[in-house]
Amino acid sequence: MLYWPEAPGPELIAQLQKADFSKLQDLFNSGVCVLKCPKTNEDVLCYPTAKMNANPAYYNCQYYPGNAVSTAVSSAVSSATGSAKVGAAAGAGLARVGPPFRYTTINVLDHFCLPDAADYIKPEYLETIKT
């Protein structure tokens, strides 16, 4: 199943909203195959792509939008912020500060892990959309 560890950029979203699907392949290429659709509080079980391995913003199939800092700086804040060390493939000696970009997903058509709207939309909004 395809999961997106990083949100698409505003330019791509704008193109898709205009029904310009020329960059749809870029959206698919930014996803990663996962064993199951993850919940916010679960591990993301994936096989990291070459892009993920080359980018220190990724660790354990998760995207950390915060800046990479040295281990000397990160050791002082890791217990307070929950930073995660970046693996050797993505730059040893760096650490992630702050939480990863995460969202609860649902399985759609046994192929895609899409955001679970019930996780972030109020129930009354869902009822309005359904009617």
pLDDT of residue 75: 41
SS3 call for 19:
coil
The model's pTM: 0.64
pLDDT of residue 120: 62
Question: What's the CA gap between 127 and 102, in Å, rounded?
Answer: 25
pLDDT of residue 21: 82
Half-sphere exposure of 67 (CA within 13 A, CB side): 3
Residue 85: its H or E element: strand 84-85
Phi, psi dihedrals of residue 55, rounded to the nearest 5°: -110, 120
Phi, psi dihedrals of residue 78, rounded to the nearest 5°: -60, -40
pLDDT of residue 32: 92
For residue 68, what are the β-bridge partners?
A: 96
For the chain of 131 residues, list the mean pLDDT of each consecutive stretch of 10: 86 83 83 91 88 86 70 40 39 64 87 79 61 53
Question: What's the CA gap between 85 and 62, in Å, rounded?
Answer: 12
Sequence letter at residue 87 = G
pLDDT of residue 91: 44
Neighbours of 11 (CB within 10 A): 10
Question: What's the CA gap between 72 and 88, in Å, rounded?
Answer: 17
